[in-house]
A and B are shown apart, each in its own frame.
Chain A
Amino acid sequence: MDQEHIIAELLAFIEADPPSDPAAADAAFEALALKVFAYQFQHNAPFAKFARARGKTPRTVKRWADIPAVPINAFKSLDLTCRPPEDCVATFMTSGTTLGGVRGKSYHATLSVYDASMRRNFAQRFMGGQERMPLGVLFPTPALLPNSSLAHYLDLARQHFGSPGSRHLIGPDGIDIDGLCQDLERAEASSAPYGLIGASFSLVHALDALATRGRRFRLPEGSRILDTGGFKGQSRELEPDAFYDALAMTFGVPRRRCINMYGMTELSTQFYDDGNAACPSVKSGPHWIRARVVDPLTGQSVPDGATGVLAHTDLAHFNIVATILTEDAGIAVDGGFLLLGRAAGAAAAGCSMAVDAFLKAASAA
């Protein structure tokens, strides 16, 4: 199958409502997943080598869950792409906080599928039935961060779902707190819902800056907040309950409308919860992505209710690899999964040493 056809199939799959019968929905997902696997096996040489080393080829893989999961670490050393990198329109990179600053890369031959995936999902999971609302983006623009998938995602939200006046509230000099206060005051004065969207750590910076000014807001009914990505050492670390309490208190948005998005550079589709009235919240994705909870060493699904590492099969990530093995711990529950934080990076005990600690010590030597 060529790129044009796989894109057409994917766009149609994303746009169509999935069959209401679960067995039919499973079959539809499986059929397309196997096509995507075959496409990637044919066009993505490093992935094909990786799959072959595990005895996984389009001839042997009969179930979507048997598609080999590529550890996200491999995105750092391999050019996992069906089209040559130079033909790609966007390269999203991880922040490179581990492994000596080497960054994982996802090459996108087109953003049409990524964007379709994002739009349909965001409309369903964040917009609450509204077509547009004023959106304040607490993250830099794509112009400032051209390799950030999150910058692209948030700007797409602003373009497609933001009403006039929606804007980025972070520039080269950091958060524009005056601008944020103005927008929040304007939203308070209107009766129309307002959306504040951005990185979790940027929201902490905003909370801290507003607390310094002694400012609190009561945004209109229907307003909502989207945070994503955690704190990553960029802000102080808050327990989820403390974080969502602070958001509710400062912006007057109830915790059930504070939505956390779980996304990754190594995916083209995001997971959302239905608010954070209670933590940890259940995360789920649309019908073109599936999550499994696996043993990281065997790749096999763990028994129901056991903790494992999350593996995602995202059909929209068609140019790269469909199934990735994350380093995030999770547990399957009804309607989705609970995200339990990072599984890797277990601190080495005593005088032995973890990889990160080694790199740090060596760079000091």
Chain B
Amino acid sequence: MTEHPILAARLPGMNADALGHVTQTYGPADAPVSIALPKLDAAAIAAVAASVKTATRRTLKTYPVARIVDTLDAAIARLLDRAHPIRRQMDRLLPRLTGYDADMVGLGLTRYLMTFRKPELLRFLAEDFPNPAILDGFQPLPKGGYGRAYGADLTAHIWAGNVPGLPLWSLAAGLLAKSGAVGKVPTAEPLFAGLFVDALAEVDPALAECIAVVWWQGGEEAPERALLEAAELALAYGGNAALAAIRARTPITTRFLAYGHKVSFAMIGREALDAAKTAETARAAAYDVMRYDQQGCFAPHVIFVEAGGRSSPERFAGHLAQELQAFERTYPRRALSLGEAADVAAWRAAAETSPGGAVIGDPAGLWTVAFDDGTDGQFSPSSLNRAIRVVAVQRLEDVAARVAPYRRLLQTAGLACAPDRLFALSAELGLAGVRRVAALGDMTAPEAGWHHDGRFNILDLVEITEIDGRALPTADRLAAYVD
């Protein structure tokens, strides 16, 4: 049975019914989901952008940041309630849209949404602003004078479709910066952003008018140009080639922030491989590999395992294979496209035939552990979709040098080691370009307020208007109460 198509877009101030739609069908043949994606030309995008800007000046710009936090918190509370109709829609539709296991999406979503509750949002603010009141009014600056932070009237968000929920990062940060948003959803997962706006509208309909969710066919330039013209700031996520194309279409007067290709890896010290801890370590590593089938940039491509522990790196690879097999039963991998399956097969063949290489694999290719005894020893990318290479190293201290050639791409290192090594290794990794060190098992769930790719979530979105330090003394001379 097919359902009535679900509208992906949210177009404040516009009659969506008057637009033409593209209907895309997702999901398994026995439970398809039809999504209606409105066709917006450049003029329509410009109109939506104008409407968002008007609403933003009328409401969002007048709200104290504390009110925005409370509103977001209330919207997130609705989404954390698995009985709430909007959350139920997410739980029902996102797995079918993305192919990910329903339990994995459900649990992942809850863990993710929890990082956007009020306490966590306050942490976001505190990370970036010693005094968040600077978002509401002029505050003294350390150098003298006063400053106030202003977000753009309009921020363009161009999202990628690899992991459900991605738009929430930038939407929440944008709202805290009091910036209106026009967000372009990817064809792969066009639904989450609109459902989040629905939850916001239940709490504060006027605030929800400050966000539009739009879509156009990938590669269509005119609507994208219109959005980039209208926005003061553009945030774009995706592959480097796609980002380069977007940047080329961005006017010089629109600030452009790119969140491009990143890769992550894990490191396991011999102290995590004693008899009592090996299984736990392997489970944590398998969890990071399993989550969203390595589609996120914080998912490991390689696990460097130190020799000299009770379990050798090779035995650890065996443990890891067992844990992946266990996860396959609880959170099965999504069905792969032919292209993805061919990529895994090619990766597997390369691993198997490389000198010093061996492969432990599920016969149906649901997961693959490649083992490298150190003959090659280098960092190399995975085909993703639960394909992971275990590389034996003599010392974890040797790893930073091996990943350093890829410094522009590095993001997270998942570490399992003793505390005395944590800081020393992190110092080397930071020098090599790694921007987040996490415990093994936490790689794919960054904490609230983390510095995304080493940058500031809200601070990067604002500009400071400052009152020169000499302005007040000069103004003082003009005060009525001065003799």
* Chain A residues near B (Cβ < 8 Å): 46, 50, 53, 70-71, 73-74, 76-78, 99, 295-298, 307-309, 325, 327, 329, 342-355, 357-358, 361-362, 364-365
Q: Which residues on A sit within 8 Å (CB–CB) of B353? A: 46, 50, 73-74, 77-78
Q: How far, in whole Å, are A344 and B163 apart by their CA atoms in the complex?
A: 21
Q: How far, in whole Å, are A357 and B408 apart by their CA atoms in the complex?
A: 13
Q: Which residues on B sit within 8 Å (CB–CB) of A350? A: 160-163, 166, 186, 237-239, 295-297
- The contact of A357 among B240, B341, B365, B380, by CB within 8 Å, is B240
Going nearest first, the 6 A-B pairs with the smallest beta carbon separation are A297-B365, A350-B162, A350-B160, A346-B339, A71-B349, A351-B297
Closest residue of chain A to B243 (Cβ to Cβ) is: A351
Q: Which residues on A sit within 8 Å (CB–CB) of B197? A: none
Q: Which residues on B sit within 8 Å (CB–CB) of A358? A: 261, 263, 380-381, 406, 409
Residue from A53, A325, A354, A358 whose CB has the most chain B CB atoms within 10 Å = A358
Closest residue of chain A to B337 (Cβ to Cβ) is: A346
A to B CB contacts below 8 Å, 30 in the list: A71-B348, A74-B353, A77-B355, A296-B344, A297-B345, A297-B364, A307-B338, A325-B345, A325-B349, A327-B346, A344-B345, A345-B339, A345-B343, A347-B239, A349-B162, A349-B188, A350-B166, A350-B186, A350-B237, A350-B239, A351-B259, A352-B296, A352-B297, A352-B384, A353-B263, A353-B297, A355-B383, A357-B241, A357-B261, A365-B408
* Chain B residues near A (Cβ < 8 Å): 160-163, 166, 186, 188, 237-241, 259-263, 294-297, 299, 336-350, 352-355, 363-365, 380-381, 383-384, 405-409
Assess the A295–B339 pair: CB atoms within 8 A: no
Q: How far, in whole Å, are A46 and B352 apart by their CA atoms in the complex?
A: 11
Q: How far, in whole Å, are A14 and B110 apart by their CA atoms in the complex?
A: 64
With both chains docked as a complex, state the minimum distance between the C-beta of A227 and any C-beta of chain B, in angstroms.
24
Closest residue of chain B to A102 (Cβ to Cβ) is: B350
Q: A50-B353, A77-B354, A325-B345 are in contact. Are A353 and B381 (CB under 8 A)?
A: yes
Q: Which residues on A sit within 8 Å (CB–CB) of B261? A: 351-353, 357-358, 361
With both chains docked as a complex, state the minimum distance between the C-beta of B422 and any C-beta of chain A, in angstroms.
26
Assess the A344–B296 pair: CB atoms within 8 A: no
Q: Which residues on A sit within 8 Å (CB–CB) of B406? A: 358, 361-362, 365
Q: Which residues on A sit within 8 Å (CB–CB) of B299? A: 352
Assess the B338–A329 pair: CB atoms within 8 A: yes
With both chains docked as a complex, state the minimum distance between the C-beta of A142 and any C-beta of chain B, in angstroms.
29
Q: How far, in whole Å, are A327 and B343 apart by their CA atoms in the complex?
A: 8
Q: Which residues on A sit within 8 Å (CB–CB) of B407? A: 365
Q: Which residues on A sit within 8 Å (CB–CB) of B337? A: 346
Using A76-B350, A351-B259, A357-B241 as known contacts, list a sample of 7 further A-B pairs with CB atoms less than 8 Å apart, ordered by residue number in A: A296-B344, A344-B342, A349-B186, A350-B166, A350-B237, A351-B237, A354-B381
Q: For chain B, what secondary structure do more than half of its interface residues adopt (helix, strand, loop), or is it mixed? A: loop
Q: Which residues on A sit within 8 Å (CB–CB) of B352? A: 50, 53, 74
Assess the A74–B349 pair: CB atoms within 8 A: yes
- The contact of B341 among A73, A295, A355, A364, by CB within 8 Å, is A295
Q: Which residues on B sit within 8 Å (CB–CB) of A53? A: 352
Q: How far, in whole Å, are A250 and B459 apart by their CA atoms in the complex?
A: 60
Assess the A354–B343 pair: CB atoms within 8 A: yes
Q: How far, in whole Å, are A297 and B338 apart by their CA atoms in the complex?
A: 10
- The contact of A351 among B241, B262, B341, B343, by CB within 8 Å, is B262
Closest residue of chain B to A46 (Cβ to Cβ) is: B353
Q: How many A-B residue pairs have CB under 8 A?
A: 151
Assess the A344–B364 pair: CB atoms within 8 A: no
- The contact of B409 among A71, A346, A355, A362, by CB within 8 Å, is A362
With both chains docked as a complex, state the minimum distance between the C-beta of A105 and any C-beta of chain B, in angstroms.
13
Q: How far, in whole Å, are A78 and B162 apart by their CA atoms in the complex?
A: 34
Q: A352-B162, A352-B294, A357-B261 are in contact. Are A296 and B409 (CB under 8 A)?
A: no
Q: How far, in whole Å, are A349 and B99 apart by their CA atoms in the complex?
A: 14
Assess the B162–A343 pair: CB atoms within 8 A: no
Closest residue of chain B to A71 (Cβ to Cβ) is: B349
With both chains docked as a complex, state the minimum distance between the C-beta of A239 and any C-beta of chain B, in angstroms.
16
Assess the A352–B350 pair: CB atoms within 8 A: no
Closest residue of chain A to B161 (Cβ to Cβ) is: A349
With both chains docked as a complex, state the minimum distance between the C-beta of B362 and any C-beta of chain A, in angstroms.
9
With both chains docked as a complex, state the minimum distance between the C-beta of A235 and any C-beta of chain B, in angstroms.
20
Q: How far, in whole Å, are A362 and B405 apart by their CA atoms in the complex?
A: 7
Q: How far, in whole Å, are A344 and B341 apart by their CA atoms in the complex?
A: 8
Q: Which residues on B sit within 8 Å (CB–CB) of A345? A: 339, 343
Closest residue of chain A to B166 (Cβ to Cβ) is: A350
Q: Which residues on B sit within 8 Å (CB–CB) of A71? A: 345-346, 348-349
Q: Which residues on B sit within 8 Å (CB–CB) of A298? A: 363-365
Q: How far, in whole Å, are A298 and B363 apart by their CA atoms in the complex?
A: 6
Q: How far, in whole Å, are A2 and B158 apart by their CA atoms in the complex?
A: 63
Q: How far, in whole Å, are A348 and B353 apart by their CA atoms in the complex?
A: 24
Q: How far, in whole Å, are A273 and B428 apart by their CA atoms in the complex?
A: 58
Q: How far, in whole Å, are A308 and B299 apart by their CA atoms in the complex?
A: 28
Closest residue of chain A to B404 (Cβ to Cβ) is: A365
Q: How far, in whole Å, are A353 and B188 apart by their CA atoms in the complex?
A: 16
Closest residue of chain B to A306 (Cβ to Cβ) is: B338
With both chains docked as a complex, state the minimum distance between the C-beta of A317 and any C-beta of chain B, in angstroms.
17
Closest residue of chain B to A326 (Cβ to Cβ) is: B342
Q: Which residues on A sit within 8 Å (CB–CB) of B238? A: 350-351
Assess the A355–B343 pair: CB atoms within 8 A: yes
Q: Which residues on A sit within 8 Å (CB–CB) of B341? A: 295-297, 309, 343
Assess the A357–B342 pair: CB atoms within 8 A: no
Q: Which residues on A sit within 8 Å (CB–CB) of B338? A: 296, 307-309, 329, 343
With both chains docked as a complex, state the minimum distance between the C-beta of B478 and any C-beta of chain A, in angstroms.
53
Assess the A309–B263 pair: CB atoms within 8 A: no
Assess the B381–A296 pair: CB atoms within 8 A: no
- The contact of B346 among A50, A73, A351, by CB within 8 Å, is A73
With both chains docked as a complex, state the minimum distance between the C-beta of A213 and any C-beta of chain B, in angstroms.
33
Q: Which residues on B sit within 8 Å (CB–CB) of A352? A: 162, 261, 263, 294-297, 299, 384
Assess the B364–A351 pair: CB atoms within 8 A: no
With both chains docked as a complex, state the minimum distance between the C-beta of A332 and any C-beta of chain B, in angstroms.
14
Q: Which residues on A sit within 8 Å (CB–CB) of B349? A: 70-71, 73-74, 325
Closest residue of chain A to B355 (Cβ to Cβ) is: A77
Q: How far, in whole Å, are A322 and B54 apart by their CA atoms in the complex?
A: 68
Q: Which residues on A sit within 8 Å (CB–CB) of B294? A: 352
Q: Which residues on A sit within 8 Å (CB–CB) of B345? A: 71, 296-297, 309, 325, 344
Q: How far, in whole Å, are A349 and B297 apart by their CA atoms in the complex?
A: 10
Q: Which residues on A sit within 8 Å (CB–CB) of B297? A: 350-353
Q: Which residues on A sit within 8 Å (CB–CB) of B380? A: 355, 358
Q: How far, in whole Å, are A139 and B394 apart by their CA atoms in the complex?
A: 51
Q: Which residues on B sit within 8 Å (CB–CB) of A348? A: 162, 239, 295, 384
Closest residue of chain B to A359 (Cβ to Cβ) is: B381
Q: A298-B364, A358-B381 are in contact. Are A346 and B340 (CB under 8 A)?
A: yes
With both chains docked as a complex, state the minimum distance between the C-beta of A27 and any C-beta of chain B, in angstroms.
29
With both chains docked as a complex, state the minimum distance between the C-beta of A214 and any C-beta of chain B, in angstroms.
32
Q: Which residues on A sit within 8 Å (CB–CB) of B405? A: 362, 365
Q: Which residues on B sit within 8 Å (CB–CB) of A344? A: 339, 342-343, 345-346
Closest residue of chain B to A330 (Cβ to Cβ) is: B338
Q: Which residues on B sit within 8 Å (CB–CB) of A99? A: 350
